């Protein structure tokens, strides 16, 4: 289980995905984008918009159940991407790299990009924006909702 949690807001995710697109714009033109579902869907849409890419494919790899990690299973293949030639693969995060390894085997010629990268997986991708520690669990905006937070002074164990 993670020892640190980092909350990413919708605004921050949008900013970070655009920053990733800015890094990728010199590598264009890409034929299309492959979003790794589910986390890569929104960053892929933002990046596809910024790079003016209209062809968007997806690959579905199931790895997590809440915070528990299992073996990756491909439940939808990115048929339109072939071997990945000319394609940009986008995910929200590379953690241990287990998903990236599976998708790289499917699309060995694609360019891999993630918004966030942890040390154990960052060598498996080609581009990313922000590195976070391995023991940090990122709370993405689609997994959270705004709610009242008890002030630290009122908590039994503030930190």
What is the token pair recorded at 106?
Answer: 């499917």
Calpha distance 51→58 (Å, rounded):
17
Q: Where are the alpha helices (DSSP H) in 7-127?
A: 10-24, 41-50, 98-106
Q: pLDDT for 128-152, tens place per residue?
A: 999 999 999 999 999 988 888 888 8
Question: Catalytic annotation on 123?
Answer: no
Of the candidates 93, 58, 95, the one whose C-alpha atom is nearest the C-alpha of residue 75 is 58
Q: What percent of the chain has pLDDT over 70?
A: 93
Tokens of 154: 């009122």
pTM greater than the 0.85 cutoff: yes
- Give residue 2's pLDDT band: very low, low, confident or very high (50, 70, 90): low
Residue 51: count other Cβ atoms within 10 Å of its Cβ.
17
Looking at domain 4-142, its CATH architecture is: 3-Layer(aba) Sandwich (3.40)
Q: Which single residue is written with the structure tokens 């009122």? A: 154
pLDDT for 108 equals 98
Q: Which long-range contacts (CB under 8 A, 24 or more apart) does 4-7 make?
A: 4/133, 4/135, 4/136, 4/137, 5/136, 5/137, 5/138, 5/139, 6/132, 6/136, 6/137, 6/138, 6/139, 7/138, 7/139, 7/144
Q: What is the pLDDT of residues 88-116, one digit of tens each?
A: 999 999 999 999 999 999 999 999 999 99
Every domain of the chain and the residues it spans: 4-142
User: Which is catalytic among the residues 95, 126, 135, 143?
Assistant: 95
How much is the CA Rg of the chain, to the nearest whole Å?
A: 16
Q: What is the pLDDT of residues 47-63, one digit of tens each?
A: 999 999 999 999 999 98
Residue 65, pLDDT > 70, answer no
Is 91 annotated as catalytic? yes
85 pLDDT higher than 70:
yes
Q: Which of 83, 91, 123, 126 is catalytic?
A: 91
Pick the catalytic residue from 16, 65, 71, 92: 92
Per-residue pLDDT, 1: 58
What is the SS3 assignment for 106? helix
* Residue 29 preceded by cis peptide, ω within 30: yes
92 in catalytic set? yes
pLDDT confidence bin for 71, thresholds 50/70/90: confident
């Amino acid at each position: 289980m993670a020892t640190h949690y980092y909350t990413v807001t919708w605004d921050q995710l949008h900013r970070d995905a655009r920053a990733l697109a800015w890094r990728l714009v010199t590598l264009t033109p890409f034929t299309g984008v492959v979003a790794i579902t589910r986390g890569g869907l929104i960053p892929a849409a933002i990046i596809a918009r910024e790079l003016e890419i209209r062809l968007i494919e997806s690959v579905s790899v199931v790895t997590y159940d809440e915070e528990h990690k299992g073996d990756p299973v491909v439940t939808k293949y990115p048929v339109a991407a072939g071997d990945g030639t000319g394609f940009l693969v986008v995910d929200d995060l590379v953690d241990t790299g287990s998903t990236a390894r599976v998708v790289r085997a499917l699309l060995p010629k694609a360019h891999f990009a993630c918004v966030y990268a942890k040390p154990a997986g960052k060598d498996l991708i080609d581009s990313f924006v922000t590195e976070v520690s391995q023991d940090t669990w990122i709370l993405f905006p689609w997994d959270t909702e705004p709610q009242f937070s008890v002030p630290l002074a009122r908590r039994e164990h503030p930190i």
